[in-house]
Amino acid sequence: MNRVLDKQRRRLRRKYRIRKRLYGTKERPRMTVFKSNRHVYVQVIDDMNGTTIASAGDVEKELKQLKPNVTNGEKLGEVVGKRLLDKSIKTVVFDRNGYRYHGIVKAIADGVRKAGIEL
């Protein structure tokens, strides 16, 4: 049990170190990733107003069939990218939220790039 808590604390410390430097504006919002053992969520946030511009997760009705793996992470990134293009947003700041930049997190970033958004 102690090992799990230590792992969570280390991720939170990395998260806070990252968040000190990243800041999203209306023109260039912050895109953050959260993953649990069962689900993956992506949120695009305007930190100036404290509002969520776009979001996607594998709990939504049309994305329910997606499992939390690399190939589906890229599809989730493409969905977020299309939603951002609909709102005429071309660039975002990528917040990996304390997770390593590999696997699902990297696949989401690649999917957003594939949709035409600049990270």
Q: Say what the pLDDT of residue 53 is.
A: 93
Q: Name the percent of the chain lying above pLDDT 90.
A: 61
Enumerate the β-bridge partners of residue 32: 43, 95
* Tens of pLDDT, residues 41-81: 999 999 999 999 999 998 888 888 888 888 888 999 999 99
- Which tokens go with 8? 């969570």
**Residue 23 predicted with pLDDT over 80:** yes
**Average pLDDT taken over every residue of the chain:** 90
Which whole-number Å values give the CA distances from 90 to 9, 13, 82, 102, 118, in the listed order? 34, 30, 10, 23, 6
**Residue 33 predicted with pLDDT over 90:** yes
Average of per-residue pLDDT across 93-117 = 93
Strand pairing category for 40-46 and 51-57: antiparallel
Q: Which fold has domain 2-115?
A: Nucleotidyltransferase; domain 5 (3.30.420)
pTM over 0.75: yes
Q: Where are the domains of the chain?
A: 2-115
Q: Which of 7-11, 64-68, 98-102 has the least mean pLDDT?
A: 64-68
Q: Say what the pLDDT of residue 1 is.
A: 64
Separation between Cα atoms, residue 57 and residue 77, nearest integer Å: 10
Average of per-residue pLDDT across 90-108 = 93
Phi, psi of 62 (to 5 degrees): -80, -15
Q: Say what the pLDDT of residue 2 is.
A: 84
